[in-house]
Amino acid sequence: MDNITEAEHCCSTDSERKSHHSDKVKANLITRLNRIEGQIRGVKGLIEKDTYCDDVLNQIAAIQSALNGVGKLLLEGHMKSCVIERIQAGEHEVVEELLTTIQKLMK
């Protein structure tokens, strides 16, 4: 997994929270998501061609793994910057927010 420094990923704590990914991180995420988008289109094509179910399921597993990779990358950056910054600012509710997000990712 790519290492993300605080300078590369930072979330603001104002009312409109945003992440500020470096160009490198953003390009990496976009590349991964474009690849996943292509994989999804490929699965659609497999279904249209009546491809053997096990082959389609294996492709779906690969897509889920790729999505998990994107999620892990985002989670790492979020924890190393946004969460730390908000805790340092006294916003301890971020821990509950993070736990809820992790629960959703682990479903």
pLDDT at 69 over 90: yes
pLDDT at 13 over 60: no
Say which CATH number the domain at 63 has.
1.20.58.1000
Rounded to 5°, the CA angle 67-69-74 comes to 95
Query: What is the widest separation between alpha-carbon atoms in the chain?
Result: 56
Is the distance from CB of 79 to CB of 3 less than 8 angstroms? no
Closest by CA position to 8, among listed 100, 76, 69: 76
With a pLDDT cut of 70, the percent of the chain lying above it is 86
Has residue 28 been placed in a domain? yes
Has residue 56 been placed in a domain? yes
Has residue 69 been placed in a domain? yes
Is the distance from CB of 2 to CB of 27 less than 8 angstroms? no
The per-residue pLDDT for 78 is 92
Query: Which residue range forms the structural domain that includes residue 100?
Result: 23-105
pLDDT band at 99 (very low <50, low <70, confident <90, very high): very high
> Which tens digit of pLDDT belongs to each residue from 39-58?
999 999 999 999 999 999 99
Has residue 43 been placed in a domain? yes
The tally of domains found in the chain comes to 1
Residue with the two structure tokens 């590349």: 31
* Identity of the residue numbered 79: M
Closest by CA position to 77, among listed 32, 34, 24, 36: 24
Q: Name which residue leads in pLDDT, 87 or 18.
A: 87
Q: Name which residue leads in pLDDT, 83 or 8.
A: 83
CB-CB neighbours of 103 under 10 Å: 9
Has residue 16 been placed in a domain? no
Has residue 97 been placed in a domain? yes
Has residue 17 been placed in a domain? no
